[in-house]
Chain A
């Protein structure tokens, strides 16, 4: 069975080559993993602040929340817009478009390969964290872990679809990465990376729930940290965002490719 040109053999080859490619840049990926330390900095500010009491998270729970936020972020980082922009500008995109494989799958495989390369570095940082804060150690149940894994994967899917949507705008303008930078700002403040959503005033929290951002970090991190969370509502919202973004992306992509070939002709 083929979905946009994908079958099992192609999946194996794509993932294999992209993983090998990413292994070449291990040092670079280690640095990227390290550049995700922001949740730990925020954790140290939150733990020393009186406002912590209003969070409904005390000491250990707060540690676990921010570690989970760090891990979720590590495995849902998306950079497709930058690669796509470069490929489009340098003309590498044209041969990709001729192949029977949808070009976006190539980027998906690159991201998955990178996540696999990142795994040991993320595990190392988590191990250091537990060495410094041994009382925060916890082991999620198998069911809980699988749910968190699924939620993180869905978060990655939403982020990937959303950024691909911006990347597809490359067909019309060169400002796609500027738009990406603009959307990164609300992501930073509303996703739960810097502050758990429970810290927000109720009105802001209610409003944030209607944006995709809390489902990118806050929801998966809560599931991973084993905090009480409305699973049905969370997964429902994630599915809804995927259901909105996927057809939109396919439409925009098709229109863009038509325009792109017209540009070359």
Chain B
């Protein structure tokens, strides 16, 4: 355990040090985050016509959902895209062999090897938006609600990671799966809006098949006190389920992996 922890600190320390060499990138990234967040808010404002609701969610409550979406989008930029995107390259160029030979778990190595600080401002802005929306929606922050939101964020992150990893792992067979994760990203964009804004069939899809609901809508409901313990448990259960599926699938994929040279 201690060895994994030390390795992680080395990995991220070097990743951050490398990124800090390119200061212009940080500026471009900040600009992109600011632009896309203001665009999202503008788009959201279009839905709030005379009735001032979107699927029974008020403006402030919808802001909480947008905030959570922004947090997860930032998480994808910081953590998932740089790491899991590299799996395809490893398979194509045969460097996955080196990873498998290392005296450390291969899924751990592939999932946490690097970190891109570019997404951190997005996470920060998303949390800020979540806090502001909650404040406007009259949420009273207690230690308990803070804790539950933290748990929901972790569960959501784990679900997102597992989905992404499942698709990335298929590159063992198909080599080119970069585009499959593009499809996933397009579908995840549905998490920008509360689940109630969608027709019933899609609601079912986004809860059970592609659990986007557990990333944004459910945590917001938990904060608002609209969702009870069962939803919280369902989220955690789903996260555990998806993670073990990803783990099992990786071990299965490795069994059919023949290195690039053989």
Contacts and interface: CB of A to CB of B under 8 A. Distances in A.
Say if A and B assemble together: yes
Interface of A: 25, 27-28, 31-32, 34-38, 41, 44-54, 175, 178, 181-182, 185-186, 188-189, 194-195, 199-200, 204
B25 A178 contact: yes
B85 to A, nearest CB: 14
A40 to B, nearest CB: 10
A175 B28 contact: yes
B152 to A, nearest CB: 23
A31 B182 contact: yes
Main secondary structure of the interface of A (DSSP, over half): helix
Interface string B44-81: 00111111011100000000000000000000000000
B182 A35 contact: yes
A185 B35 contact: yes
Contact of B186 (A28, A35, A48, A175): A35
A49 B180 CA distance: 30
A51 B49 contact: yes
Given A34-B183, A35-B182, A186 B39 contact: yes
A54 B32 CA distance: 30
A35 B179 contact: yes
Given A35-B182, A45-B198, A48-B55, A175 B24 contact: yes
A188 B180 contact: no
B187 interface: yes
B221 to A, nearest CB: 18
B183 A35 contact: yes
Given A185-B35, A195-B46, A49 B186 contact: no
A44 B202 CA distance: 9
29 contacts: A28-B176, A34-B186, A35-B183, A36-B186, A37-B186, A37-B187, A38-B186, A38-B189, A41-B186, A41-B189, A44-B198, A44-B199, A44-B202, A45-B54, A45-B197, A48-B199, A50-B50, A50-B51, A51-B54, A52-B49, A175-B24, A181-B32, A182-B31, A185-B35, A185-B39, A186-B35, A195-B43, A199-B46, A204-B42
Given A50-B49, A189-B39, 4 more contacts: A31-B179, A44-B202, A45-B47, A51-B47
Contact of B43 (A47, A181, A182, A194): A194
Chain B interface size, as a band, is 35 or more
B193 interface: yes
A50 B53 contact: yes
B36 interface: yes
A255 to B, nearest CB: 22
A186 B48 CA distance: 21
Given A37-B187, A45-B193, A195-B43, A53 B32 contact: no
A41 B190 contact: yes
Q: List the 3 closest pairs (A to B, CB-CB), nearest first.
A: A51-B49, A189-B39, A31-B179
Contact of B179 (A28, A182, A186): A28
Contacts of A27: 174
A45 B39 CA distance: 17
Most buried by B among A50, A181, A194, A204: A50
Contact of A31 (B180, B189, B193): B180
Interface in B1-42: 24-25, 28, 31-32, 35-36, 39, 42
A189 B182 CA distance: 19
Contacts of A37: 183, 186-187
